[in-house]
Chain A
Amino acid sequence: MTAGELISADSVRAAAREDALHGPFTTRQLLRLDDALRLADSSTELKFSVYVGDLDVPVRGHAEKLHSQMADPDRSVLVAVSPNQRVLEIITGESARRRIPDRSAKLAAMSMSAAFGGGDLAGGLVSGLAQLAAQAGHPAV
């Protein structure tokens, strides 16, 4: 790795941190979200991620595109929230879908959108992630 690559990786990381701090959440909410994501990942061995920002129309297509860009889309679950458009998309990969059926995903989506409708983005995400992780359960040995 050259020095230039190191610098660019560092600056990207710094920019990511900067954006996260200027994002919609307070530090405490970010910590809760981080805890929820880590817990969901470690208990299910699936890869959960949360995207908060505008989605281009068609919303589902954009969310699927984001999901397909993840490291292991098959075992990934993406929760994409667009507060401006008031839309929420949950995308589950092929193996993730076997553990989180669409019906359970819909249930989690409904509870999340109820919280978002009340203006509680962080709370809705944390409880939604917990619900999805509980549905997925532990991986089969």
Chain B
Amino acid sequence: MSITETILVFVCIPLAAIGLVFLLVYGTSAARSRRYRPGRPFEPTPVWYVAGNPESVAEADTQARALTAAEPASDGSEWPGMVHTGNIGGASDSW
């Protein structure tokens, strides 16, 4: 076995194998970085999902953009342009 062959077999092949493992580990985690992890900052832009045709999605999104841009009134209790729809209910939770 010549020196070149020895280097090829004992250095290049192990290095290629190590590189492949690195790529598999960090390549896939980079692709999955959008995943939410509690406690880590969550960067994606706000989105509003509704069922139905794309028209209503676009409409809802426009509303969402407008709403996220809106600022609460100085007293902090009411929102400008808030329409009270009467007896609304629901629930809150945090994690």
Which residues of A pack against B, CB within 8 Å? 9, 12-13, 15-17, 19-20, 22-26, 33-34, 37-38, 40-41, 47-54, 56-62, 64-71, 73-74, 77-78, 83-94, 97, 100-102, 105-106, 108-110, 112-114, 116-119, 121
Q: Which residues of B contact A68 (CB under 8 A)?
A: 82-85
How many residues of chain B get a CB closer than 8 Å to chain A's CBs? 50
Interface string of B74-87 (1 = CB under 8 A from A): 00111101111111
Main secondary structure on B side of the interface with A? loop
Please measure, in the bound complex, the distance between the C-alpha atom of A123 and the C-alpha atom of B66, giving whole angstroms. Answer: 28
Instruction: Give chain A residues whose Cβ lies under 8 Å from the Cβ of B10.
Output: none
8 Å CB contact of B48 from A15, A50, A86, A119: A50
> Would you call B85 and A114 a contact (CB within 8 A)?
no
A114 cross-chain contacts in B, Cβ below 8 A: 95
Is the pair B57, A13 in contact by a Cβ cutoff of 8 Å? yes
Stretch from B13-21, B22-30, B39-47 at the A interface: B39-47
- Bound CA span A92–B86, Å: 11
